């Protein structure tokens, strides 16, 4: 069967890249021919936002006020630097179809389109900011299978307009099968879309085993063993988090290290801006002794590599994603939200229990895909 995967643009997000790779790999192992739809990233583009920023820069310059405006040539250089290694991984491992306009896809191109995973159904992230794309409304009238696999709303409240909701209601009724990543997604489908058949499944990255990711590490000649043992993958750093990291570091007697781009750090050099290779990110989990993160997929890979971890709850990015994931393995106590209690470091994780749950969830999730594509 020819299958197209509709997910978020790949870009430089480790979790986004690896979930696309994992879903593609699982479907290929089932015997299907698979491509991932990817929207090219336009580094320098004319937009209302960019025009406004540019004119604000001109006004400040005229008034003699310093401006943080970055010209497009410098911006492009920074973007190209950041993507240096993630682009290599994407080109090597992910079979893509680059699409500028999803309406270019023809009814006879594919036998099935799978939507997911990641926050493909979160309004602020969905392709083209268009519910008609994310919910396959553009395939109306086509003789294909439409399947949602581990699609995520990202949050546990309804974020769509009345008009958007009506479009989604009509579109989701066309799906042959719908699965979501969070338990809250099941509730949202029932409450706001009147869709009662959605089920919860695993994020695609959890469908593969640790050995699959070990293979990626071993097949790369661009990784190294970190000297330190406390892995930090914190997307939204602040003074409170820095203080907590320092406390954990002292308590565990482990030195912290980061595997991430310093793109957002003012004054960072081009070398510091480069996003480390995907394989290096994976190796950082494998070779570390402990993980502190506020990232969903960093939680996933801590679990896969059996690394004790602490999740710093990130309200702005959505807590429902973390709560749902952790509850699957009875690890809800690994997340700290308002109070950062360093004593959590001393609490062990019963990995045999986690693995037992993961094995069953993995079997059930793969079964959903197989049955949905056959029925």
- Residue 171 forms part of a structural domain: yes
Same domain, 161 and 19: yes
Average pLDDT of the chain, as a whole number: 92
Same domain, 143 and 266: no
CB 22 within 8 A of CB 365: no
pTM: predicted TM-score of the whole model, two decimal places: 0.91
Least confident of 67-76, 183-192, 358-367: 67-76
- Residue 153 forms part of a structural domain: yes
Sheet containing 96-98: order of strands: 96-98, 33-38, 2-6, 112-115, 145-151, 177-180, 199-200
* pLDDT of the residue at 45: 47
Same domain, 275 and 256: yes
Same domain, 193 and 280: no
DSSP bridge pairs for 290: 230
CB-based contacts of 65: which residues, under 8 Å, 6+ apart?
A: none
> Would you place residue 263 in the very low, low, confident or very high pLDDT band (cuts 50, 70, 90)?
confident
- Residue 342 forms part of a structural domain: yes
Helix (H) or strand (E) holding 342, with range, is: none
Q: Rounded to 5 degrees, what are φ and ψ at 36?
A: -105, 125
* pLDDT of the residue at 47: 47
**The pair of three-digit structure tokens given for residue 124, joined into one six-digit string:** 């602020």
- Residue 249 forms part of a structural domain: yes
CATH number of the domain at 301, please.
Answer: 3.40.50.2000
Q: Percent of the chain, pLDDT > 90?
A: 78
- Residue 310 forms part of a structural domain: yes
Same domain, 262 and 245: yes
Pairing of strands 335-336, 177-180: unpaired
* pLDDT of the residue at 46: 46
What is the distance between the alpha carbons of residues 262 and 151, in angstroms, rounded to a whole number? 29
Closest CA to 8 of 118, 159, 122: 118
Q: What is the mean pLDDT of residues 352-370?
A: 98
Instruction: Give the range of the structural domain holding residue 291, as residue numbers without chain letter.
Output: 219-359
> Would you place residue 203 in the very low, low, confident or very high pLDDT band (cuts 50, 70, 90)?
very high
Q: Percent of the chain, pLDDT > 70?
A: 92
Query: Which phi-psi region, left, alpha or beta, contains residue 115 (left: φ > 0; alpha: ψ -120 to 50)?
Result: beta
> Would you place residue 51 in the very low, low, confident or very high pLDDT band (cuts 50, 70, 90)?
low
In this predicted structure, the answer to whether residue 340 has a pLDDT above a threshold of 50 is yes
Residue 259's alpha-carbon distances to 43, 167, 182, 282, 337, in angstroms, are 24, 41, 27, 10, 23
Q: What is the mean pLDDT of residues 201-210?
A: 98
What is the distance between the alpha carbons of residues 245 and 279, in angstroms, rounded to a whole number? 24
Better pLDDT: 42 or 154 = 154
**Count of domains in the chain?**
3
Q: What is the mean pLDDT of residues 358-368?
A: 98
* pLDDT of the residue at 374: 92
In this predicted structure, the answer to whether residue 75 has a pLDDT above a threshold of 70 is no
Query: How far, rounded to the nearest angstrom, does the alpha carbon of residue 220 sit from its chain's CA centroid?
Result: 22
Question: 279-331 pLDDT, tens per residue?
Answer: 999 999 999 999 999 999 999 999 999 999 999 998 888 899 999 999 999 99
In this predicted structure, the answer to whether residue 70 has a pLDDT above a threshold of 80 is no
> Would you place residue 4 in the very low, low, confident or very high pLDDT band (cuts 50, 70, 90)?
very high
In this predicted structure, the answer to whether residue 144 has a pLDDT above a threshold of 80 is yes
The number of helix segments (H) and strand segments (E) in the chain equals: 14, 12
Domain boundary residue, one of 80, 100, 129: 80
Judged on CB neighbours under 10 Å (0-12, 13-18, 19+), 288 is: buried
Question: 87-133 pLDDT, tens per residue?
Answer: 999 999 999 999 999 999 999 999 999 999 999 999 999 877 789 99
* pLDDT of the residue at 44: 41
DSSP bridge pairs for 180: 151, 200
* pLDDT of the residue at 71: 59
């Amino acid at each position: 069967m020819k299958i197209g995967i509709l997910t978020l643009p790949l870009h430089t997000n480790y979790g986004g890249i690896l979930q696309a790779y994992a879903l593609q790999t699982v479907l290929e192992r089932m015997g299907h021919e698979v491509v991932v739809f990817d929207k090219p990233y336009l580094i320098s583009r004319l937009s209302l936002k960019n025009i406004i920023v540019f004119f604000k820069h001109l006004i400040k310059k005229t008034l003699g006020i310093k401006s943080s405006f970055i010209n497009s040539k410098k911006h492009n250089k920074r973007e190209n630097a950041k993507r240096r290694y993630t682009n290599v991984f994407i080109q090597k491992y992910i079979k893509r179809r680059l699409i500028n306009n999803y309406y270019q896809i023809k009814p006879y191109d594919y036998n099935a389109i799978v939507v997911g995973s990641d926050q493909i159904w979160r309004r602020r992230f969905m392709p083209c900011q268009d519910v008609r794309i994310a919910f396959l409304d553009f395939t109306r009238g086509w003789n294909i299978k439409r399947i949602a696999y581990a699609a995520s709303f990202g949050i546990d409240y309804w974020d769509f307009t009345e008009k958007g909701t009506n479009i989604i209601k009509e579109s989701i009724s066309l799906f042959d099968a719908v699965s979501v990543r969070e338990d809250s997604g099941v509730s949202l489908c029932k409450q706001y879309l009147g869709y009662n058949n959605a089920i919860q499944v695993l994020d695609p990255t959890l469908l593969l085993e640790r050995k699959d990711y070990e293979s990626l590490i071993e097949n790369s000649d661009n990784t190294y063993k970190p000297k330190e043992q406390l892995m930090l993958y914190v997307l939204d750093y602040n003074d409170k988090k820095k203080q907590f990291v320092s406390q954990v570091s002292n308590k565990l007697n482990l030195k912290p290290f980061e595997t991430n781009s310093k793109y957002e750090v003012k004054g960072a050099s081009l070398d510091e801006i480069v996003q480390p290779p995907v394989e290096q990110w994976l190796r950082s989990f494998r070779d570390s002794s402990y993980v502190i993160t506020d990232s969903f997929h960093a939680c996933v890979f801590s679990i896969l590599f059996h690394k004790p971890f602490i999740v710093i709850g990130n309200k702005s990015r959505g807590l429902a994603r973390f709560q749902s994931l952790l509850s699957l393995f009875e690890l809800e106590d690994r997340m700290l939200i308002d109070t950062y209690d360093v004593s959590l470091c001393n609490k062990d994780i019963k990995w045999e229990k986690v693995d037992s749950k993961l094995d069953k969830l993995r079997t059930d999730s793969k079964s959903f895909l197989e049955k949905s594509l056959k029925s």
